[in-house]
Structure 1
Amino acid sequence: MPDNKKFWQFRNSVDNTVELLLYGDISQTSWWGDEVTPRQFADELAGLGPLDKIVVRINSGGGDVFAAQAIGNQLEQHPAEVTAKIDGLCASAATIVACHCNRVIAANDTTYMVHPVRIGAYGYYDAEELRKYIEALAAIKESIVSLYVKKTGRDRDEVTDWMDATSWWTAATAKENGFVDELVDDEATVVENRGGMLFVNSINTGLPFNKAPNFVQSSKAAPAAAGGFVNKNSHKEEENMASEIKTVDDLRGAYPELVGKIEEAAAQEARNAERQRIQDIEEMCLPGSEDMTNEAKFTKPMSAEDYAKAVVKNAKKQGDKFLAGMAKDADDGGVNGVEASAGAAGGGEKKDEFMDALKAMGAKK
């Protein structure tokens, strides 16, 4: 399996107990239509043999709902006692995994977030296709609401309102609302603003820092992060991150906001250049060259400089053709065979070559 598809890690398997680490995005790609990756997870879980306890350590801003549902259901159906341990952030699809666990424990300074279901659609769609997407969103939302109601014991309308409002909670509020069963005092959660993105315990949540609620932004670790990273292994992590960025997709995953700004700036520059190219071509258009101009602008695009050269060549070609036509007309009319005639008797008058040519042409008829 490609490394970029595996986002989980089973570790510390001792005495029929294992930890499942879910740090970062829950799948970079959707598990919808993917049979290989879910099977890989199931095979790894089964390969651990009989287990008494599974501890799911979560620090994630969410990800693919289908991946979260598949993992959550496999954990819920497992005979072992499954406990979710929130180490930093549990948001979006990560909450689905947590709610499938038998018990949820959160450190006091961690954060919980639920929000409306979203779908990423790329391309062009007609009304019927969009309607199907909306129906799919509604169905997915209902399944998540049912899971939340089962976990919290709260009213369906109340849970739906929480989702629709995009609710950010402290661990204590999440416990009050029924999503967390126990609070513990662990090591302080490290919240950082790295390039405008929210990092929790060195994990990119995929969420803009300025979109996080005030209690997250103003946490005790956030100010220290403004001037640099507070983690002791931060330099090593930055080196590892740099070594892992080998493709455009890697860069986009690590710095989505920066890549987005670069791409938008490049797109705007390209749009401006194209408008200028078309304007320059239109300003050089000569009467009779409309077809060539349209080709240069659209069907056979060329730069304004190349178009200018083409216009000069075409004008020279047309000029040569015109002069050749004039010479042929003169030959056909006999003008080139007319010799100069003597002046009228009495002399002294200026010879009119034009009239002489006309007379000569009349004499040949």
Structure 2
Amino acid sequence: MNNFWEFRNISETEGELILYGQIASSKPWWADEGEGIYANQFTKDLKALGNISHLVMRINSGGGDVFAANAIYAQLKAHPAKVTGIIEGVAASAATILLAACDIVKAWSNATIMVHDPLAGLMGYYNKKDLEKVGDVLDTVKSSIINGYISKTGRTAEELSALMDQEKWMTAEEAMAEGFVDEIMDDVIVEASMTKDNRFVVVNSIAHDLSGFNTRPTFTSAPGLIQSLQSPQNVAQQGSKNENQKESDGVPITNIEELKNEYPQLCNQLVEQAVKNAVETERNRMKEIDEISNTVSPELVNKAKYEEPMDAGKLAFMALKEDAGRGEVFIQARQQELQNNGGVKPENSPSDADQKKVQESANIDAIANAMNARRGGTELTK
């Protein structure tokens, strides 16, 4: 898996930083072995440019990890080279922190800039004090972001906080009016569109995940030009109209290869998500089988895990059928034994009706044991 940035020397005195995609602190668990912390590798790559006097940062990013963005911000601010930022599509969320590190920020005329309050992702259960601590952390993070914005824009903390509260999407002109952009370039067109589910905005073939935001940019028929800001619900109502416009403006995508060529970043993200889902599903399947394995024969467990993969529910059913089959073989053997003895039953031999009741009871116990084991309960005994 490649880094989300690329450094290269343009000349002995000028370097270039291409920063496309999501900003992250560390490589995901499925990435190749090697340097795991992105900030460390970023520092090494920046130093490898040598004694440059000018660095051009080309950015097209929907944001990501605020702490990683702060680390990159610090590296760029501390570097002796003059830093020119060029927005080649989107600079949203944590990506705007990097703009504050630039001496000059240029934007294509139909680029998109967005600022918002920091977010925290939570899993598990928390009490009131825990949540208050999370709120305190978010307030601290917001203050650190605002301090960077102030040095770039010249706006007051109150003005910038109000913009962030709005989850403010801005055109290049609006961002220039707010101080985030210093110069607008008119000679380049940004290709941009929303996916059908309104989760991704695809800008210059880079897919940006907007699922964590409450608002979406919408576009005019001219590619990439922002028309207005709407809620995801309103955008969804216009979905069919926008799709028709897209198909009339160009050739529609009809197969997977065309989709890969048109939106390579989106396809990579979909593959990564599919791999994560598949691994999680298989892990859960194995765990549920292990939970009932003490009630099932080892041969059947091995078959369910590897030879003919099945879930725990089907395994429990197969085990029940196996137990029932053994009971039927026993009854048939007993009946044959009676026939061989001239039909004479031992004095204490149970009747056919009693045998049937015993078999039904065994079947019921087998089902109960399998279900209790799967739920973590206690096995029935008699």
Question: TM-score band (shorter)?
Answer: 0.5 to 0.7
Judging changes above 3 Å, is the alpha-carbon distance between structure 1 residues 163 and 56 closer, same or farther for their aligned structure 2 residues? same
Task: Name the SS of the counterpart of 1:59 in structure 2.
Answer: strand
Determine whether 1:206 maps to 2:209.
Answer: yes
Judging changes above 3 Å, is the alpha-carbon distance between structure 1 residues 300 and 183 closer, same or farther for their aligned structure 2 residues? closer
Alignment of 1:287-306 (within 5 A): 302-304=315-317, 306=319
Distance 1:320 1:307 in 2: 20
Alignment of 1:1-365 (within 5 A): 3-4=1-2, 6-27=3-24, 29=26, 36-122=37-123, 124-127=124-127, 130-194=131-195, 196=197, 197-207=200-210, 211-214=215-218, 217-218=219-220, 220-221=222-223, 225-226=246-247, 238-239=260-261, 250-253=269-272, 302-304=315-317, 306-307=319-320, 310=323
Q: Which amino acid aligns with 2:10?
A: S
Listed as ranges, the gaps of 5+ residues in structure 2 are: 29-34, 225-241, 289-294, 297-311, 339-344, 350-382
Instruction: Tell whether the 8 Å contact from 2:25 to 2:68 is kept in structure 1 after alignment.
Output: no
TM-score (norm: length of structure 2): 0.60
Q: CA deviation at 1:210?
A: 11
Instruction: Tell whether the 8 Å contact from 2:25 to 2:37 is kept in structure 1 after alignment.
Output: no
Distance 1:243 1:201 in 2: 10
Q: CA deviation at 1:178?
A: 1.5
Judging changes above 3 Å, is the alpha-carbon distance between structure 1 residues 237 and 330 closer, same or farther for their aligned structure 2 residues? closer
Judging changes above 3 Å, is the alpha-carbon distance between structure 1 residues 28 and 156 closer, same or farther for their aligned structure 2 residues? closer
Distance 1:12 1:104 in 2: 20
TM-score (norm: length of structure 1): 0.62
Give percent identity, aligned residues only.
33
Distance 1:35 1:238 in 2: 28
Instruction: Tell whether the 8 Å contact from 1:8 to 1:21 is kept in structure 2 after alignment.
Output: yes
Q: CA deviation at 1:43?
A: 1.5
Q: CA deviation at 1:118?
A: 1.7
Q: Which amino acid aligns with 2:270?
A: L
Q: How much is the aligned-residue C-alpha RMSD, in angstroms? A: 4.5
Deviates more, 1:138-147 or 1:166-175: 138-147
Q: Which amino acid aligns with 1:310?
A: D
Q: CA deviation at 1:237?
A: 8.6
Distance 1:67 1:83 in 2: 20
Q: CA deviation at 1:174?
A: 0.8
Listed as ranges, the gaps of 5+ residues in structure 1 are: 275-290, 293-298, 332-365
> Which of the two has higher C-alpha Rg?
1
Judging changes above 3 Å, is the alpha-carbon distance between structure 1 residues 186 and 121 closer, same or farther for their aligned structure 2 residues? farther
Task: Name the SS of the counterpart of 1:14 in structure 2.
Answer: coil
